[in-house]
């Protein structure tokens, strides 16, 4: 009987950043990362190495510091770049391409969340500049209304399929594979939104199968959040508004939900937040409304005359 031979199989470190990125993407897909998450990694890694071609060497740390200290970079952009590149470099260290992570010791910046509060006039102005006689305009109006109606994340909305939407029960299922938290949930919308969604879905060509996203390009291809935000920016310019992003609709839904008597617990489930603290940030603007209403309707304010403020003796 022949004696078994033990063979040591060693992994060959990636020789280029392109090869490392290819391996990294394969791993993230095996881990069932969301497609938009993988796309974010690819975009940020490519941006870094195309901007600094010599970074795949001993100069990586210096190039990374230059990349993060770019003039005019906002804290959210800084944090996205750092987080994605740090995860990628961790993988490179495990693969043997780097002795240590070039991003070690770098900390995230504090970034206050951008809270928006668009008026009803602004929302109507946005809808007014969408040409619903075209597929693109009808798609944008349906996506606008759905996002405002249920607070769905832009990335989740853009991955909805026809079978995920129930136009009779006025609800949509966000699959675990497309949810940011990797947990499925159900969101609800109004009959008005359902009517526009029905128009959009019935206008689809017969050759588009059920795998084609509800909100796709005019060629039936997958759309992305960046393109949607760019489209909203164009509408905002036509409507005479300063800016309008895809996430504005999600924030606006949360604020209006609380203003209209909704509670934090149900809002948390609808928004897909993992903790209640993430939902509580929307209380600030809704509580301002309560304080303003109280100042007008307070019995004490009507009972006792307000005195002028004393400024000088």
Instruction: Give the mean model confidence (pLDDT) for residues 117-127.
Output: 92
Angle of helix 17-30 relative to helix 75-95, nearest 10 degrees? Answer: 90
Mean pLDDT value across the chain: 86
Judgement on whether residues 159 and 253 belong to the same structural domain of the protein: yes
Based on the domain organization, do 138 and 217 belong to the same domain? yes
- Per residue in 176-192, is it b (16+ CB within 10 Å) or e — as a string? eebbeeeeebebebeee
Q: What does the block give as tokens for 278? A: 């993430």
More confident residue, 36 or 125: 125
Instruction: Report the length, in residues, of the chain.
Output: 313
Q: pLDDT tens across 233-275, in order?
A: 999 999 999 889 998 999 899 888 888 888 888 888 888 888 8
Angle formed by the axes of helices 225-239 and 120-128, to 10°? Answer: 100
DSSP annotation of 303:
H
Same domain, 86 and 129: no
Residues 198 and 129 in one domain: yes
User: Is residue 313 over pLDDT 50?
Assistant: no
129: tokens are 């500049």
* pLDDT computed for residue 173 by the predictor: 96
> For residue 4, is it within any domain?
no
% of the chain with per-residue pLDDT over 90: 59
* Shared domain check, 185 and 264: yes
Cα 111 from chain centre: 16
Work out the average pLDDT over 275-295. Answer: 64
246, 225 in Cβ contact below 8 A?
yes
- Are the C-beta atoms of 158 and 222 separated by less than 8 Å? yes
Residues 138 and 66 both lie in one domain? no
Report the distance separating Cα 275 and Cα 260, nearest Å: 22
Higher-confidence residue: 111 or 185? 185
Same domain for 249 and 137:
yes
Task: Give per-residue pLDDT as tens, 171-227.
Answer: 999 999 888 888 899 999 999 999 999 999 999 999 999 899 999 999 999 998 889
Phi, psi (degrees; rounded to nearest 5) at 194: -60, -40
Do residues 91 and 46 share a domain? yes
> Is 298 a member of any domain?
no
- Of 53, 79, 95, which one is at a domain's C-terminal end? 95
Contact 35, 223 (CB under 8 A): no
Asked if the structure places residue 274 within a domain, the reply is: yes
Q: Which of 274, 245, 257, 269 is nearest to 190 (CA)?
A: 257
Residue 302 placed within a domain: no
Q: Determine, yes or no, domain membership for 279.
A: yes
Tokens standing for 283?
A: 């209380």
Per-residue pLDDT band for 34 (boundaries 50, 70, 90) equals confident
Q: What is the CATH number of the domain that holds 32?
A: 1.10.150
* CB atoms near residue 35 (< 10 Å): 15
pTM exceeding the 0.85 threshold for the entire prediction:
no
Helices (H), 3-103: 17-30, 35-51, 60-68, 75-95
Q: Do 183 and 261 sit in the same domain of this protein? A: yes
Cβ 123 vs Cβ 148: under 8 Å? yes
pLDDT > 70 fraction of the chain, expressed in percent and rounded: 85
Phi/psi for 222 (5° steps) reads -65, 135
Chain-centroid distance of CA 146 in Å reads: 15
DSSP 221: P
Longest dimension (CA), the chain: 109
Cα 94 to Cα 91: distance, rounded to the nearest angstrom: 5
User: d(Cα 251, Cα 228) in Å, to the nearest integer?
Assistant: 16
Last-in-domain residue among 95, 111, 134: 95
Does residue 166 sit within a domain?
yes
Domain span at 250: 120-292
- State how many domains the chain has: 2
Q: What CATH number has the domain bearing residue 189?
A: 1.10.443.10
Q: Give yes or no: residues 25 and 79 share one domain.
A: yes
Cα distance between residue 76 and residue 112, in whole Å: 9
| Cα 271 versus chain centre, distance | 12
**Residue 216 located in a structural domain:** yes
Residue 104 maps to a domain: no
Would you state the structure tokens that stand for residue 147, as one six-digit string? 């996002």
Can you list the pairs that 282-291 forms with residues at least 24 positions away whose Cβ atoms lie under 8 Å? 282/115, 282/251, 282/254, 282/255, 282/258, 283/258, 284/115, 285/115, 285/117, 285/255, 286/255, 286/258, 286/259, 289/259
């Amino acid at each position: 009987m022949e004696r078994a031979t033990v063979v040591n199989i060693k992994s060959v470190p990636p020789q280029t950043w392109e090869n490392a990125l290819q391996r990294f993407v394969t791993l993230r897909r095996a881990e069932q990362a969301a497609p938009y998450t993988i796309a974010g990694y690819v975009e940020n890694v490519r941006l870094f190495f195309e901007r600094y071609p010599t970074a795949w060497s001993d100069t990586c740390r210096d190039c990374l510091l230059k990349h993060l200290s770019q003039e005019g970079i906002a804290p959210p952009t800084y944090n996205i770049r750092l987080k994605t590149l740090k995860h990628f470099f961790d993988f490179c260290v495990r693969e043997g391409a780097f002795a240590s992570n070039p991003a070690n010791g770098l900390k995230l910046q504090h970034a206050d969340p951008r809270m928006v509060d668009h008026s009803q006039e602004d929302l109507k102005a946005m809808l007014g500049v969408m040409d619903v006689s075209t597929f693109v305009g009808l798609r944008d109006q349906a996506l606008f209304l759905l996002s405002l109606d249920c607070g769905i994340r832009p990335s989740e909305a853009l991955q909805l399929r026809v079978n995920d939407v129930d136009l009779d029960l006025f609800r949509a299922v966000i699959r675990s594979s497309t949810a940011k938290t990797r947990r499925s949930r159900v969101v609800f919308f109004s009959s008005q939104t359902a009517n526009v969604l029905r128009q959009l879905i019935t206008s689809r060509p017969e050759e588009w199968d059920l795998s084609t996203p509800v909100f796709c390009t005019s060629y039936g291809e997958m759309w992305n959040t960046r393109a949607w935000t760019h489209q909203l920016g164009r509408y905002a310019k036509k409507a005479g508004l300063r800016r309008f992003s895809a996430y504005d609709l999600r924030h606006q839904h949360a604020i209006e939900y609380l203003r209209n008597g909704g509670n934090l617990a149900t809002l948390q489930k609808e928004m897909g937040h993992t903790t209640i603290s993430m939902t509580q940030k929307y209380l600030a603007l809704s509580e301002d409304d309560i304080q303003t209403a109280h100042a007008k309707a307070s019995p004490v304010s009507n009972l006792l005359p307000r005195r002028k403020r004393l400024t000088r003796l």
